[in-house]
Amino acid sequence: MRTQDLLLSVFIAVAGSLVQAAPASIEDSIASRASRDGIDLSAIDSAPAILAAIADTYRDQGVEYTQAIRRRSAKPIVRRGVGNIFDVHSHAEPDWYRAITPFTGGNSGLSSGGGFPTPQWNVSAHMEFMDTIGISHSVLGFTGPSANAYLGDKDRTVALARLINEQLAALARTYPDTFSFFASIPLPYVEESIAELKYAVNELGAVGIALMSNHEGHYLGYDLFTPFWEALDGLGGRQIVYVHPTTPYLKVNNQWIPANPYSEMDQSRMEF
């Protein structure tokens, strides 16, 4: 075989392998990473629609999924006031999440969820609100119950945490001067939570993590959570943990019961 023919054959073989190896779409890239980490996104029935919504966040702004998060340029803040406000209690509530959790602090299996109806949300309205009151940057997170919409269901809890974090990363990557994000963590499932912590911080660029005040009735000082806290410490540096209230639950006779001792107080806000 001539050298020219040999080189052409090698080029075709290499190109073919690259085409086969490369994911065909943003949706495939996200699903591939989840599969790599042992997460079955199909545990959530609406996963294809959710993946499409996340991908559209990138496509609408012409941003590549693999693009690293561009860090916001450092600007000295001389004084507090309009234009110098950083909002660290700021929620993204895309339509797909509202469909899963129609009530804040809730449980997808309960009609009321223990809270108020999850509000409608979109990026443009959020940014208009920021401009109106002089917020320069918002650190986004999902409100309660975050990943704990499926009480007692590990597979769906873990899958939902991953989808939430991919959505938040998409917003931070497409609007890097406006948004960063706190990652959702699928506690009480400790091993899976450690894996999601590392992925969200090291690969997606989360600036911190958002924990609920309790996860399936287990509070943050629960002994079995110790390996998670050790993993967080192991990341080095100063790690930010944002704690958001959510409905407390107890499992009684194999049923999840909102554990609110104050009947006059809304269940999802009792832990404020």
pLDDT per residue over 221-242, tens digit each?
Answer: 999 999 999 999 999 888 999 9
Whether 197 shows a pLDDT value over 70: the answer reads yes
CB 157 within 8 A of CB 147: yes
Sort strands 208-212 and 241-244 into parallel, antiparallel or unpaired.
parallel
pLDDT in the model for residue 8: 46
pLDDT in the model for residue 19: 46
Q: What is the DSSP string of 132-201?
A: HHTEEEEEEEPPTTTTTTSTT-HHHHHHHHHHHHHHHHHHHHHSTTTEEEEEE--TT-HHHHHHHHHHII
How far apart CA 105 and CA 149 sit, in angstroms, is: 8
Position 166: which residue type? E
The total number of residues written for the chain in this structure = 272
148-158 mean pLDDT? 96
Two tokens, residue 114? 């223990």
pLDDT in the model for residue 79: 52
Whether 73 shows a pLDDT value over 50: the answer reads no
How far apart CA 217 and CA 67 sit, in angstroms, is: 38
The pTM of this model reads 0.85
Whether 46 shows a pLDDT value over 60: the answer reads yes
- Whole-number mean pLDDT of the chain? 85
How far apart CA 31 and CA 39 sit, in angstroms, is: 9
pLDDT in the model for residue 77: 46
